[in-house]
C-alpha cells in the first residue's frame, strides 16, 4: 500500500510539463509516466503486472531492496514470491567471490524464464554492478538483461525502467561515486514492525581485504533531522524497532554542516515517540567512543547488544588488514564495554585465511573468542577481491589451510556461544514477536541480544513486545513461554 504522502506527490505530476532536473521530483515525474504505461500493459495482460526483488548480501542491500520495491509498488506492480514475474530485480553483493557465483547461476535461470515470458523485464543492481569486470561479463554473456544500475543510483529505478519500456533496448546507468543523497521516495517495508534506517553511506576505512569502499564509495552522512523524520514516519506506519545502518557508524556526522556524534544521534532517535527498540550496525572497534558506551548504558531503548567486528585476533594480521587496532586494544575495549554495561551481549564478524595467516595467528583469534565471549559470530573464509591491496599480497593460503583454520574457529565460536546462550536459561526477557515459524507453527520472537525464542501463542501477538520465560536453551535459540503481564 502506498502512503497518501507519496500518492499525492505522484499525482501532482499531472501539472508538470517539463521533465524536472532536480531529484527526487524527476523520479516522481517518471513514476507518473510509468503508471500510464503499466496500466496499458495491464489491459493487454488482463491483470496486474507482478514484480520480485531478490536481495543478496547485507542489511544495506535489504534496505535498498525496500526502496526498489516501494517504487515498483507505487507505479502499479504487485509483489510475488518467486521470479516468475513481469519484473525481476537482483540486488547483488560482491563482498566474497561466492556471492558473485550465486548471482551468475541465478541470472542464467532468469534467462529461461524470459523465454517463456518475453515481456519480462530483468534488472541487476547493487554492489556487483560497481565492478567493471562483472558488468562486461553480463553485457556479453547475459544479453537478455534489460537494465543494469549500481549502488549510487538506486533511486533512479523509475527513470531507467521508463526508458526501457519506452523503447531503449538495454539501459545501463552506472556512476563511479556520488556526493548526492536522494531520499523521500516510496519504500515498502518487509516487516511492518521493524525497519532499517540508513544514517550514512559508503566507507572510508579501506581494510585491505574489503571491496566495500570501492563499490559503495566515500562516506557521506545524512542530516540528523532527516533521519529523525524518517523514523517518525516509520513509527506512523507501525514500526517499533529501528536499526540504524552504516558501514562504520562511529564516523557518523563527519562532513555535516553541524557535527553530530553517533551517540547524540542515537539519543535523538530514541526520543521519537513510539519507538521501543533501537539497534545499530556496524561500529568499528578502532573508534568506538566512551560517549557511545555511556549512551548505550543509560538509554533503555538501545538494545544491549554490540556487534563489534573482530576480523582477526592476531595483531600482526590486523595490521596487514589495516584495521588500526591490536588484539590487546580490542580486548581492552571489550572489558570497558562489559564494565559499564554488565548485561551486554557481544557479537562479531571473524574472517580466517587472510594472506600469511599462520596456525599461531589462528590461535590468537580463538583466544580472543574465548576471552571476549561472543554470543554469536558471523564467520567467513577470506575471499580474494580483485582491486583490493590484499589480493596482491604474498602467501595467499591454500583452500585446505583456510578450511583447517575455519573449522578450528567454528568449534571455538560454537562452544563459547552455546555457553553464553545457556546463561540466560530460566530468565524472563522481553522479545519482539516477529513471525510464525513455518515448521512448527510456534511464534518466533527476538531478544534484545538478537537471539531467537520460539513459543506458543496467537498470531495477533505479531509485532508486539512480550515478556517470555526462556525455558530451554537449544544452543542458538530458546524454547520459551509467554509470561502474563501483571
Listed residue (429, 432, 437, 442) closest to 468, CA to CA? 429
Could you give the CA distance from residue 416 to residue 394 in angstroms, rounded to a whole number? 33
226 binds, among ligand SF4, ligand 5AD, none (CB under 5 to 8 A by kind): none
Q: Give me 415's grid cell.
A: 562452544
User: Cβ 206 to ligand SF4, closest distance in Å?
Assistant: 6
Q: Does residue 214 interact with ligand 5AD by CB under 6 A?
A: no
Tell me which residues in 281-320 interact with ligand SF4 (CB under 6 A).
Answer: 284
Contact with ligand SF4 (CB under 6 A): which of 20, 111, 213, 238?
Answer: 213
User: Residues near 37 by Cβ (< 8 Å), separated by ≥ 6?
Assistant: 162, 165, 166
Residue 79: how many other CB atoms lie within 10 Å? 13
Nearer to ligand SF4, 377 or 470 (CB): 377
Nearer to ligand SF4, 270 or 311 (CB): 311
Nearer to ligand 5AD, 261 or 396 (CB): 396
Beta-bridge partners for 78: 50
213 binds, among ligand SF4, ligand 5AD, none (CB under 5 to 8 A by kind): ligand SF4
284 binds, among ligand 5AD, ligand SF4, none (CB under 5 to 8 A by kind): ligand SF4
Nearer to ligand 5AD, 156 or 376 (CB): 376
Contact with ligand SF4 (CB under 6 A): which of 173, 205, 358, 422?
Answer: 205
Counting residues that bind ligand SF4 (by CB under 6 A) gives: 10
Tell me which residues in 69-98 interact with ligand 5AD (CB under 6 A).
Answer: 95-96
User: Cβ 210 to ligand 5AD, closest distance in Å?
Assistant: 4
User: Cβ 385 to ligand 5AD, closest distance in Å?
Assistant: 5
Nearer to ligand SF4, 212 or 302 (CB): 212
Nearer to ligand SF4, 94 or 276 (CB): 94
Nearer to ligand 5AD, 178 or 379 (CB): 379
x/- letters, 223..262, toward ligand SF4 (CB under 6 A): ------------------------xx--------------
Q: Does residue 350 interact with ligand SF4 by CB under 6 A?
A: no
Contact with ligand 5AD (CB under 6 A): which of 209, 214, 280, 406?
Answer: 209
User: Cβ 281 to ligand 5AD, closest distance in Å?
Assistant: 10
Q: Does residue 212 interact with ligand SF4 by CB under 6 A?
A: yes
Contact with ligand 5AD (CB under 6 A): which of 135, 171, 210, 433?
Answer: 210
Q: Does residue 153 interact with ligand 5AD by CB under 6 A?
A: no
Could you give the CA distance from residue 15 to residue 433 in angstroms, rounded to a whole number? 45
Nearer to ligand SF4, 207 or 244 (CB): 207
351 binds, among ligand 5AD, ligand SF4, none (CB under 5 to 8 A by kind): ligand 5AD
x/- letters, 353..392, toward ligand 5AD (CB under 6 A): ---------------------------x-xx-x-------
x/- letters, 305..344, toward ligand 5AD (CB under 6 A): ----x-x---------------------------------
User: Residues near 48 by Cβ (< 8 Å), separated by ≥ 6?
Assistant: 42, 76, 77, 78
User: Cβ 47 to ligand 5AD, closest distance in Å?
Assistant: 41
User: Cβ 455 to ligand SF4, closest distance in Å?
Assistant: 35
Could you give the CA distance from residue 443 to residue 431 in angstroms, rounded to a whole number? 11
Could you give the CA distance from residue 457 to residue 63 in angstroms, rounded to a whole number? 29
User: Cβ 437 to ligand 5AD, closest distance in Å?
Assistant: 27
Nearer to ligand 5AD, 72 or 375 (CB): 375
Could you give the CA distance from residue 59 to residue 127 in angstroms, rounded to a whole number? 13
Q: What is the 3-state secondary structure (H, E, C) of the chain?
A: CCCHHHHHHHHHHHHCCCCCCCCCHHHHHHHHHHHHHHHHHHHHHCCCCEEEEEECCCHHHHHHHHHHHHHHHHCCCEECCCCCCCEEEEEECCCCHHHHHHHHHHHHHHHHHHHHCCCCEEEEEEHHHHCHHHHHHHHHHCCCCCEEECCCCHHHHHHHHHHHHCCCCCEEECCCCCCCCCCCCCCCCCCCCEEEEECEECCCCCCCCCCHHHHHCCCEECCHHHHHHHHHHHHHCCCCEEEEECCCHHHCCCCCCCCCCHHHHHHHHHCCCCCCEEEEECCCHHHCCHHHHHHHHHCCCECCEEECCCECCCHHHHHHCCCCCCHHHHHHHHHHHHHHCCCCEEEEEEEECCCCCCHHHHHHHHHHHHHHCCCEEEEEECCCCCCCHHHHCCCCCCHHHHHHHHHHHHHHHHHHHHHHHHCCCCCEEEEEEEEECCCCCCEEEEECCCCEEEECCCHHHCCCEEEEEEEEECCCEEEEEECCCC
**Where along the sequence are the contacts to ligand 5AD (CB under 6 A)?**
95-96, 209-210, 309, 311, 349, 351, 380, 382-383, 385
**Where along the sequence are the contacts to ligand SF4 (CB under 6 A)?**
203, 205-207, 210, 212-213, 247-248, 284
Amino acid at each position: 500500500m502506498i502512503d497518501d504522502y507519496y500518492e499525492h506527490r505522484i499525482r501532482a505530476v499531472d501539472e508538470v510539463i517539463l521533465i524536472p532536473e532536480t531529484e527526487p521530483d524527476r523520479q516522481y515525474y517518471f513514476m507518473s509516466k510509468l503508471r500510464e504505461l503499466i496500466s496499458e500493459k495491464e489491459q493487454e495482460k488482463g491483470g496486474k503486472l507482478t514484480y520480485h526483488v531478490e536481495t543478496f548480501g547485507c542489511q544495506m542491500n535489504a534496505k535498498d531492496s525496500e526502496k526498489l520495491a516501494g517504487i515498483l509498488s507505487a507505479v502499479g506492480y504487485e509483489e510475488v514470491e518467486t521470479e516468475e514475474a513481469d519484473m525481476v530485480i537482483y540486488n547483488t553483493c560482491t563482498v566474497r567471490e561466492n556471492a558473485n557465483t550465486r548471482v551468475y547461476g541465478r541470472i542464467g535461470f532468469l534467462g529461461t524464464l524470459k523465454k517463456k515470458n518475453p515481456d519480462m523485464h530483468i534488472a541487476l543492481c547493487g554492489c556487483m554492478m560497481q565492478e567493471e569486470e562483472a558488468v562486461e561479463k553480463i553485457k556479453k554473456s547475459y544479453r537478455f538483461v534489460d537494465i543494469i544500475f549500481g549502488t549510487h543510483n538506486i533511486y533512479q529505478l523509475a527513470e531507467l525502467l521508463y526508458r526501457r519500456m519506452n523503447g531503449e533496448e538495454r539501459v545501463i546507468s552506472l556512476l563511479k561515486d556520488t556526493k548526492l543523497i536522494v531520499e523521500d521516495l516510496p519504500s515498502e517495508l518487509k516487516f511492518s514492525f521493524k525497519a532499517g534506517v540508513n544514517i550514512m553511506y559508503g566507507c572510508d576505512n579501506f581494510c585491505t581485504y574489503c571491496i566495500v569502499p570501492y563499490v559503495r564509495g566515500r562516506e557521506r552522512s545524512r542530516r540528523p533531522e532527516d533521519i529523525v523524520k524518517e523514523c517518525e514516519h516509520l513509527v506512523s506506519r507501525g514500526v517499533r524497532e529501528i536499526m540504524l545502518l552504516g558501514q562504520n557508524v562511529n564516523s557518523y556526522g563527519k562532513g555535516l554542516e553541524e557535527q553530530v556524534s553517533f551517540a547524540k544521534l542515537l539519543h535523538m532517535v530514541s526520543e521519537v515517540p513510539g519507538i521501543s527498540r533501537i539497534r545499530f550496525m556496524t561500529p568499528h572497534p578502532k573508534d568506538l567512543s566512551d560517549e557511545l558506551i555511556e549512551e548505550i548504558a543509560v538509554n533503555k531503548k538501545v538494545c544491549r547488544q554490540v556487534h563489534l567486528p573482530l576480523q582477526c585476533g592476531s595483531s600482526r594480521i590486523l595490521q596487514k588488514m589495516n584495521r588500526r587496532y591490536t588484539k590487546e586494544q580490542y580486548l581492552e575495549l571489550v572489558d570497558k564495554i562489559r564494565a559499564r554495561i554488565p548485561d551486554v551481549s557481544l557479537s562479531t564478524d571473524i574472517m580466517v585465511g587472510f594472506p600469511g595467516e599462520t596456525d599461531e595467528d589462528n590461535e590468537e583469534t580463538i583466544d580472543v573468542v574465548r576471552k571476549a565471549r561472543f554470543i554469536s559470530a558471523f564467520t567467513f573464509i577470506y575471499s580474494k577481491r580483485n582491486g583490493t591491496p590484499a589480493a596482491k599480497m604474498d602467501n595467499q593460503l591454500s583452500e585446505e589451510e583456510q578450511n583447517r583454520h575455519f573449522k578450528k574457529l567454528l568449534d571455538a565460536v560454537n562452544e563459547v556461544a552455546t555457553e553464553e546462550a545457556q546463561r540466560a536459561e530460566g530468565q524472563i526477557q522481553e522479545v519482539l514477536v516477529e513471525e510464525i515459524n513455518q515448521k512448527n507453527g510456534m511464534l518466533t520472537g527476538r531478544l534484545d541480544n538478537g537471539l531467537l525464542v520460539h513459543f506458543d501463542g496467537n498470531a495477533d501477538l505479531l509485532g508486539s513486545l512480550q515478556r517470555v520465560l526462556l525455558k530451554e536453551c537449544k544452543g542458538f535459540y530458546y524454547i520459551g513461554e509467554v509470561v502474563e503481564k501483571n
